[in-house]
């Protein structure tokens, strides 16, 4: 029986993927795996049984990735599962950045005492006039699962689209419309775009990427959309730019104390993935990742260990989290050959200073082999299946 602890409400369609061999719930103790959405995990203590964490979503800022890697805890996310929900919100954000619809709606609520509401509307609506997105240039920073969908959708709405992603995958590139212009640098987007939308993770290289210096490179009256992470944008610098008119509007899905109540800022309460479909997709994908890892050791969509998977056709297998150091595979192989065990299949991958190896056997795992491997310098965790 495997124990799966839920730290947030996870869509039932996802938790239903676990069968009778799993104990799933919020009160589960000594979990083998955890499913989480937004719950903060940095101060949590993890038991020795924990081998995996699945984030039902893309962002993993709430999970201590490095500590997990050191302890041999594989962290998964669900890239692309909520992409359409965020894409649709981004299209809405483009409109909200262009037209003061929210201000107009709030003003309309005050017209209840007017003797002729229709006349009052016609007299006052000019205060909320905006602009159209047709023919304007959208700069998309980050062309992954979400950014690529946004770029294609904006193009179909008649916008000119220029995108930049230094780390774009072949799959993502093939998914883009041929009419989307490629920018070599972010500076090229800053210079060309009437609208800029951010679709990159929060890292040491992207935190504060929209700041006084980069805003100065943008067109006057640029409109900025941030549905990715709050700390991509320097709050003080964006407020200064809004006050001066350099930035016409800022739409964010991450309200903070610094942005609430600021003129020309639209604060959306983190609704990007808050659709029934997105929550279902993320839950199913996260559950399937955990089930595959717990039953076969295969890793797909991990954010702290490499993707390694091979068909489980043998009698048993040994799954090993270890440091990415020289001579490791030779030592692992030697632990089997010294006991006359033939390795049917073997796969290895690395991610930075960490690596993962699966060894497939045609026989049962003899006593002592796992302990011998665990004793090798640089081995973090050994699981037998």
Q: Strands, DSSP E only, in 20-92?
A: 22-25, 33-36, 52-55, 74-76
In this prediction, residue 169 carries a pLDDT of: 85
Name residues whose C-beta falls within 8 Å of residue 251's C-beta, 6 or more positions apart in sequence. Answer: 93, 96, 97, 223, 224, 225, 226, 227, 265, 266, 268
CATH label, 306-385, candidates 3.40.50.300, 1.10.357.10, 3.30.160.270, 3.30.70.260: 3.30.70.260
User: What CATH number labels 1-82+275-305?
Assistant: 3.40.50.720
Q: The whole model's pTM is what? A: 0.81
In this prediction, residue 13 carries a pLDDT of: 96
Element (H, E) at 325: none
Integer Cα distance of 351 and 65 in angstroms: 13
pLDDT in tens, 120-158: 999 999 999 999 999 999 999 999 999 999 999 999 999
In this prediction, residue 251 carries a pLDDT of: 98
**pLDDT tens, the chain, 385 aa long:** 999 999 999 999 999 999 999 999 999 999 999 999 989 999 999 999 999 999 998 889 899 999 999 999 999 999 889 999 999 999 999 999 999 999 999 999 999 999 999 999 999 999 999 999 999 999 999 999 999 999 999 999 999 999 999 988 888 888 999 999 999 999 999 999 999 999 998 889 999 999 999 999 999 999 999 999 999 999 999 999 999 999 999 999 999 999 999 999 999 999 998 899 999 999 999 999 999 999 999 999 999 999 999 999 999 999 999 999 999 999 999 999 988 888 999 999 999 999 999 999 999 998 889 999 999 999 999 999 9
Residue spans of alpha helices (H) in the chain: 12-15, 65-70, 83-98, 101-108, 117-124, 145-156, 170-175, 186-192, 212-216, 235-244, 276-296, 328-337, 369-374
What residue spans define the domains of the chain?
A: 1-82+275-305, 83-97+131-267, 306-385
Measure the CA dihedral 192/260/91/62, to 10°. Answer: 100
Topology alike, domains 1-82+275-305 and 83-97+131-267: yes
In this prediction, residue 127 carries a pLDDT of: 93
Integer Cα distance of 62 and 292 in angstroms: 23
Q: Are 266 and 96 in contact (CB under 8 A)?
A: yes
In this prediction, residue 26 carries a pLDDT of: 95
Q: Are 260 and 285 in contact (CB under 8 A)?
A: no
- Beta-sheet pairing, 33-36 with 22-25: unpaired
- CATH fourth-level superfamily of 83-97+131-267: NAD(P)-binding Rossmann-like Domain (3.40.50.720)
In this prediction, residue 291 carries a pLDDT of: 98
Residue 49's nearest CA partner among 291, 383, 385 is 383
Integer Cα distance of 241 and 47 in angstroms: 48
In this prediction, residue 338 carries a pLDDT of: 87
Residue 264's nearest CA partner among 234, 242, 291, 240 is 242
């Amino acid at each position: 029986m495997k124990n799966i602890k839920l730290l947030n409400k996870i869509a039932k369609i996802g938790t239903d993927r676990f069968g009778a061999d799993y104990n799933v719930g919020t009160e589960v103790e000594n979990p083998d795996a955890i499913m989480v959405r937004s719950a903060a995990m940095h101060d949590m203590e993890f038991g020795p049984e924990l081998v995996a964490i699945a984030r039902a979503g893309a962002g993993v800022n709430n999970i201590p990735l490095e500590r997990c890697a050191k302890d041999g805890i594989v962290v998964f996310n669900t890239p692309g599962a909520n992409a359409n929900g965020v894409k649709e919100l981004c299209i809405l954000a483009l409109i909200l950045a262009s037209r003061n619809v929210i201000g107009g709606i709030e003003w309309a609520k005050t017209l209840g005492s007017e003797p002729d509401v229709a006349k009052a509307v016609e007299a006052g609506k000019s205060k909320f006039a905006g602009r159209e997105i047709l023919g304007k240039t959208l700069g998309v920073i980050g062309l992954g699962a979400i950014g690529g969908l946004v770029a294609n959708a904006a193009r179909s709405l008649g916008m000119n689209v220029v995108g930049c992603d230094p780390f774009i995958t072949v799959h993502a590139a093939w998914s883009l419309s041929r009419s989307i212009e490629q920018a070599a640098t972010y500076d090229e987007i800053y210079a060309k775009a009437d609208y800029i939308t951010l679709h990159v993770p929060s890292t040491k290289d992207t935190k504060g990427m929209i700041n006084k210096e980069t805003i100065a490179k943008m067109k006057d009256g640029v409109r900025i959309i941030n549905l990715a992470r709050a700390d991509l944008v320097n709050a003080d610098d964006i407020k200064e730019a809004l006050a001066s008119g350099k930035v016409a509007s800022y739409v964010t899905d991450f309200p903070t104390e610094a942005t609430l109540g600021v003129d020309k800022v639209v604060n959306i309460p983190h609704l990007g993935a808050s659709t029934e479909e997105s929550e279902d997709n993320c839950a199913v994908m996260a559950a399937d990742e955990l089930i595959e890892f717990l039953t076969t050791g295969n890793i797909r969509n991990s954010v702290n260990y490499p993707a390694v998977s091979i068909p489980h056709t043998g009698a048993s297998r040994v799954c090993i989290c270890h440091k990415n150091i020289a001579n490791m595979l030779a030592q692992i192989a030697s632990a089997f050959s010294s006991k006359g065990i033939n390795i049917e299949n073997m796969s290895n991958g690395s991610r930075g200073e960490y690596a993962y190896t699966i060894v497939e056997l045609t026989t049962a795992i003899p006593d002592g082999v796992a302990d011998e491997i665990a004793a090798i310098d640089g081995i973090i965790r050994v699981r037998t299946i």
